[in-house]
Amino acid sequence: MNKLRIGAIMFATDQSIQPTELARAIEERGLDGLFVPEHTHIPLDTHSPFFPDGKLPAPYLRTYDPFVVLGAAAAVTERIDLGTGICLVSQRHPISLAKEVATVDSLSNGRFIFGVGAGWNRPEIENHGVEFDKRWRVVRERILAMKTIWSEDEPEFHGEFVDFNKLWSYPKPVQKGGPPIWLGANSKFVADRVAEYADGWLPVGGRQGGATIDGLKEACARRGRRFEDITLSYFYAPLDEALARAQIAAGYSYLVYGLPSDSREQVLPVLDQVAALAAKLRT
């Protein structure tokens, strides 16, 4: 069983605690990771399945670029993981994204975790030139292309959505072959996607969609993967000791707790609660 790790996730914005201060605070409290989500923009005609009234919380409109945030965090920390939770691969060009990932992994000396997803916001995705119904096929191919860039000196890739001849792209990630890829989704299709091209699964707590740990085990067996090599990370875990222990017993080895996208006066007390819970869970 993987050693238990505990981290935090926050929408880093121009109105929240500075991410460098947050990263230092997470490391000082003995926690294990900082994760940040992203939205390149929010179209005015957004209709969210998660916010039925049509009104998205302000942080969705104001997120910093996650790779700039994590690069800054790498400069002021030495130990903690730095991850996207999640990066919307459907909205990024794979050659430039491969460079961003490799840069943060290099600057952090191999501490980057690449949480990825396809996104739920149809107009946001389509503004990037990707058909909504094809977004997961696009994500898969872009990830396979990036893995090629990270692992080969003169990579080339020829697919349906990504096509390039031999090129040079440096630096390569410190983590050989690229950082661990954790796939964020809760649908019934996620198990096979994780088993095919990812290293971990990061379901968001409380969302139902048909995905199960047993389903992931079956998908790994079909794909010839060892289930034990897949990291189970529970995002936005509730701050409840009994529920946390149940998640650990189910197989989750990385619990990630949500912090309010707010000032230091609002964020740090919640981070203290996470640190106190972490101390209990590790005893």
pLDDT of residue 1: 46
Q: Over the stretch 129-141, which tens digit does the pLDDT of each residue have? A: 999 999 999 999 9
CA distance 87 to 67: 9
Burial 230-258 (b: 16+ CB within 10 A, else e): bbbbbbbbeeeeeebeebbeebbbbbbbb
5-281: what fold? TIM Barrel (3.20.20)
Burial 79-104 (b: 16+ CB within 10 A, else e): ebbbbbbbbbbbbbebbebbbbbbbb
Are the CB atoms for 161 and 136 separated by under 8 Å? no
In this predicted structure, the answer to whether residue 39 has a pLDDT above a threshold of 60 is yes
Q: What is the mean pLDDT of residues 152-167?
A: 98
Phi then psi for residue 157, to 5 deg, are -150, 135
- To 10 degrees, the CA torsion angle through 240, 245, 247, 250? -160
Q: Which residue from 213, 223, 214 is spatially nearest to 193, judged by alpha carbons?
A: 223
In this predicted structure, the answer to whether residue 52 has a pLDDT above a threshold of 90 is no
By the 10 Å C-beta count (0-12 exposed, 13-18 middle, 19+ buried), 165 is classed as exposed
Degrees, nearest 5: CA angle 243-2-150? 120
Domain residue spans in the chain?
5-281
Distances (CA, A) of 99 to 31, 233, 253, 262: 28, 25, 29, 30
Its sign, for the CA torsion 247, 188, 8, 57, is negative
pLDDT-derived band of residue 165, with 50, 70 and 90 as boundaries? very high
Higher-pLDDT residue of 56 and 272 is: 272
Least confident of 22-36, 70-84, 153-167, 197-211: 197-211
Higher-pLDDT residue of 102 and 45 is: 102
Q: Over the stretch 180-236, which tens digit does the pLDDT of each residue have? A: 999 999 899 999 999 999 999 999 886 668 889 999 999 999 999 999 999 999 999
pLDDT of residue 47: 82
Are the CB atoms for 150 and 175 separated by under 8 Å? no
Higher-pLDDT residue of 130 and 51 is: 130
pLDDT of residue 206: 61
In this predicted structure, the answer to whether residue 102 has a pLDDT above a threshold of 70 is yes
Question: What integer best gives the mean pLDDT of the chain?
Answer: 95
pLDDT of residue 177: 96
Higher-pLDDT residue of 269 and 46 is: 269
